[in-house]
């Protein structure tokens, strides 16, 4: 049974996601036993061609992945140590629901998640999720596609409180998960470097303006050695990671 990683990387006018995806691919090949990686950068993108983030078409992961078992990752991540055990899921499809600070503390702040909190949505993160090529997963992605294509209507129905005026692939995945009562019993987690969830009293615009970092064979941020997936968010940090 084939297993592999899929990374979505469609460049926009400001960000070179393909470069980031290749840095992530190199880190996976360095640290994981499973080294099969597919970067999706050139495919039918009618839904996202006019958007900045180009995420509206990510429900196509099921059809585009060549693997029997797939882990989908955002491009602006780094694999600091093996995540091979993420493939040991008991579910047909499962999303990350637990993220960490760079200090390895569980994130409890809902600064970026008010839509989820105020509408009782599952706290899923699409930056890292797993699926098998099964009928159950296909049913999820079929509905996922409907939600992504008609997101404004689904926002009105499922997020009347603290509603976002923009498309979010996390919200779309969460709504789909809620409709299908999707379980998320897994060991997935990653370090998420958005600044307002780092438990700081004084929060900078970018975490790279506050923390020191170093790398040779390992990645240290704020003197903490990073393990697993590191979601660095800020594109300029890819210059540092390219040295690893």
CATH numbers and ranges of domains, the chain: 3-241 (3.90.550)
Return the pLDDT at 51. Answer: 64
Write down the pLDDT at residue 243: 82
* pTM higher than the cut 0.75: yes
DSSP 19: H
Reported as a single tens digit per residue, the pLDDT across 38-72 is 999 977 666 556 665 678 899 999 999 999 999 99
Helix then strand count (H, E) for the chain reads 7, 12
Interacting residues of 99 by C-beta distance below 8 A, sequence separation 6+:
106, 107, 125, 189, 190, 191, 192, 197, 231
Q: What local confidence, expressed as pLDDT, does residue 66 receive?
A: 97
In sequence order, the β-bridge partners of residue 96 are 125
Measured between alpha carbons, how far is residue 214 from residues 209, 219, 220 in Å? 14, 6, 5
Q: Residue 184's pLDDT is what?
A: 82
Q: What is the DSSP string of 183-195?
A: ---S---EEE--G
- Provide the pLDDT for residue 12: 86
**Encoding tokens for residue 111?**
């600064």
Work out the number of other CB atoms within 10 angstroms of the CB of residue 14.
7
pLDDT tens-place values along the chain, 244 residues long: 899 999 999 998 889 999 999 999 999 999 999 999 999 997 766 655 666 567 889 999 999 999 999 999 999 999 999 999 999 999 999 999 999 999 999 999 999 999 999 999 999 999 999 999 999 999 999 999 999 999 999 999 999 999 999 999 999 999 999 999 999 878 899 999 999 999 999 999 999 999 999 988 899 999 999 999 999 999 999 999 988 8
């Amino acid at each position: 049974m084939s297993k592999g990683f899929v990374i979505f990387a469609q460049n926009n006018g400001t960000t070179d996601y393909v470069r980031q995806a290749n840095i992530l691919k190199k880190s996976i090949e360095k640290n994981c036993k499973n080294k099969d990686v597919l970067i999706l950068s050139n495919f039918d993108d009618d839904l996202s061609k006019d958007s900045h983030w180009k995420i509206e078409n990510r429900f196509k992961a099921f059809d585009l992945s060549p693997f029997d078992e797939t882990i989908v990752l955002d491009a602006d991540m780094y694999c600091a140590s093996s995540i091979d055990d993420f493939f040991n899921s008991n579910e047909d499809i499962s999303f990350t629901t637990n993220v960490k600070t760079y200090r390895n503390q569980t994130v409890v702040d809902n600064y970026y998640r008010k839509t989820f909190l105020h509408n009782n949505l599952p706290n899923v993160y699409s930056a890292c999720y797993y699926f098998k090529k099964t009928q159950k997963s296909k049913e999820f992605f079929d509905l996922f596609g409907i939600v992504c294509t008609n997101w404004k209507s689904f926002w009105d129905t499922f997020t009347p409180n603290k509603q976002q005026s923009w498309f979010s692939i996390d919200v779309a995945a969460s709504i789909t998960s809620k409709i299908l009562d999707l379980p998320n019993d897994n060991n997935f987690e990653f370090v998420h470097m958005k600044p307002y969830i780092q438990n700081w009293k004084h929060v900078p615009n970018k975490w790279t303006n506050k923390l020191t970092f170093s790398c040779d064979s390992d990645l240290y941020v704020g003197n903490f050695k990073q393990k697993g997936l590191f979601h660095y968010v800020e594109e300029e940090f890819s210059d540092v990671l390219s040295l690893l």
